[in-house]
Every structure is written in structure tokens, then in C-alpha cells.
Amino acid sequence: MTDDKFKDSIVPPLQDDNEDGLLMSALPHSRELGMRLISRADDEAVLMIPYDPKLIGDPQTGVMHGGAITALLDTCCGTAVMMSSKKPSSTATLDLRINYMKPATPEKSVYAHAHCYRATRSIGFVRAIAYHEDRDDPIATASAAFILNFKGGSA
Amino acid sequence: MSTVNTPTPQMLDDAFAALTEKIPYISFLGVTFQRRGDEVSALLTYTPDLIGNPILPALHGGATGAFLEITAITSLTWVAALERIHSKPEWDGTFAPQPKTVDFSIDYLRSGKPQDAYARAIILRRGRRVANVRVEAWQDERSKPFIAAHGHFLLS
């Protein structure tokens, strides 16, 4: 991935724990998944899903279902778009492509880091990685486009 | 398909239930299935927990994307299970390992309304190692899907 900012950025921790609560209260399904906002900065966001047996996709291995990771990446990408300099009032996914590199390890939390590397008047383009501890050893990578909505019509 | 076995409907129902009812995430999301011959029809039952945008309101894109992925995988596992059931003189009740998603590409066509959704997959190709699947979900009208996806799955 040739995105230097994405690779090197260390998104600072949240200043206010309540930010996490605010985001998740606005996203009932993310809350149901136990998702947490870990940090956010300009154009970027880090979210996490703790391991939970209810999210298992393969009972023989205990591996978390890819669908939960889809939801994590979608929410993380959407949050990064909301953090873009265009400051949309809301956003919606147009397309989301996920490549799975390896299964998630049972019992481990899954993190996602998304970077909105380009935002035009109407579209935000995002890349994201899902991982446990090491972003260089990804579970999955994602590439997405989001439509930007602005209060009172387009910007 | 060279048929050695002629399974009874009960046997097929039991196999189908065994395949779909033991996966925690499928129950968590509230997805249920019906078998239609070798095809699978999926239902996502609406609950407020599926909402991703309370203002519209709209279903969470992660939830509906996961619904499609589940439908694609279940369609593949059911076809594979039927092959086993039909070909083995005495089927031992075991299934092939679950297909692993290699990539999944989702198009969000419309916002998902706060109501039930239905999905069906088309297996474009099922090779020895990789399967290529297209899947769509709709709500009021079959001809107006609100989400569609295309994925590759590793079978062995």
C-alpha cells in the first residue's frame, strides 16, 4: 500500500471517552457488535470490535465471522470520511471492497484503521486495514467510496 | 451428478438445519434460510439493532453487507453438502470445511429501509479451489435490489 500517511500515522488517543459513547449511540448495529471508537484525527479513524463468542462464524475454529469485520471496516471508513476536511453532515457507503488475508485469531480484538485519502465535493475515497496488533500483518484490507451529504443540499 | 443416494425430504431438512443453525453470528444477525431445491433463500428479519442511520432511518451497511456474505457462503455450503449427500451411499453427516472469503465487493444501491430484507446468491462458477458468487438483496421489489455484491471464496 503506497500511502505514506496511512502507513505512518499514529492516531492520538481520544481526549474525551464520551466521543466513543456518542458515536456508538448513533449507530445501533455497531453498538450491538460491541464496537468502540479508539481514536480519530483529521481524515482518519481507528475502531475496534472485542472478541465475542456471539460473533463466531465457524464454530469448529472459533474464528470471528467475516461479516462482523465488514461492519467494522464500513463503520471505520465512514468515520474517517466524517473526519475529512469537507466535514459532511452525513455519509453513505457507495461501494466497499474487502480483501481477506487471513482469518482473525480467536479470543483477540480486531482493530480497523481507515484513512480518507481524498474527498471531493461529493465523494470520499477511503482505504482501511483490519488487524490485531500489527498493521503490517493485516486480517483484511478495504477500499471504499462514500457519498458526502451536506445539510441544506450539496456544498 | 451421478446419484447413488435418494435422500428423503426429512434427511435434507436435517442436513440443512445442521448446516445453518449452529453458527453464532448468523443467529446474532437474525438471518434465517429456506432451501429451494439446490438454491438457498435468505431472510434478514428486521430489528432496531440493525439500524446504522437512525435519522433516515436506514439499515447498517455492515449488517446488510454481512447478510450478503452469509447468503453467499450458505449457498456454497448447501450445494457442496448436497453433492456429498447424493454421492455417498451412506452419508456420514459431515460437511466440507467452510468456504473462506478471499474478497468481497459490495455495491450499496439504495438505503436499506427499516424492514425485512431478502437475498439470493448465484454461483457463477464453483471450481475445485475457488468459487465465484454474485448475491443481491431486496425489500419491496425483487427488481429493485438495495445492495449487491460479488465475491471469491476459497473452497479448499
pLDDT tens figures, B64-114: 999 999 999 999 999 999 998 888 777 788 888 899 999 999 999 999 999
Nearest-CA residue of chain B relative to A100? B102
Give the span between the Cα atoms of A145 and B13, in whole angstroms: 41
Contact of B102 with A100, CB cutoff 8 Å: yes
Q: Which of A98, A94, A103, A93 is nearest to A129 (CA)?
A: A98
Predicted confidence at residue B22, as pLDDT, reads 85
Give the span between the Cα atoms of A49 and A37, in whole angstroms: 9
Query: How close B2 gets to chain A, by Cα (Å)?
Result: 30
Predicted confidence at residue A155, as pLDDT, reads 45
Query: How close A120 gets to chain B, by Cα (Å)?
Result: 19
Using a CB-CB cut-off of 8 Å, the residues of chain A touching B101 are: 66, 98, 100
Burial of A74 (0-12, 13-18, 19+ CB in 10 A): buried
In whole angstroms, what separates CA B103 from the centre of its chain?
16
ipTM score of complex: 0.89
Among B19, B106, B133, the strongest candidate for a mutation testing the A interface, having the largest count of A CBs within 10 A, is B106
- Can you state the angle between helices B9-20 and B61-87, rounded to 10 degrees? 140
pLDDT tens figures, A87-110: 999 999 999 999 999 999 999 999
Query: How close A52 gets to chain B, by Cα (Å)?
Result: 10
pLDDT tens figures, A134-150: 999 999 999 999 999 99
pLDDT tens figures, A12-39: 777 777 777 778 778 899 999 999 999 9
**Confidence band (pLDDT; 50, 70, 90) for B41?**
very high
User: Is residue A40 scored above 70 in pLDDT?
Assistant: yes
Residue of B23, B70, B106 lying closest to A59 (CB–CB): B23
Q: Which of B111, B101, B112, B106 is nearest to B44 (CA)?
A: B112
Ordered by start, the domain boundaries in chain B are 9-154
> CATH says A13-149 is which class?
alpha beta
Using a CB-CB cut-off of 8 Å, the residues of chain B touching A95 are: 105-108
Burial of A153 (0-12, 13-18, 19+ CB in 10 A): exposed
Task: Render chain A in DSSP notation, one character per residue.
Answer: ---HHHHH--PPBPS-THHHHHHHHT-HHHHHTT-EEEEEETTEEEEEE---GGGEEETTTTEEPHHHHHHHHHHHHHHHHHTSTT--SEEEEEEEEEEE-SPPPTT--EEEEEEEEEE-SSEEEEEEEEESS-TTS-SEEEEEEEEEE-TTS--
Give residues with Cβ within 8 angstroms of B74, minimum separation 6: B19, B20, B26, B33, B40, B42
- Domain B9-154, what architecture? Roll (3.10)
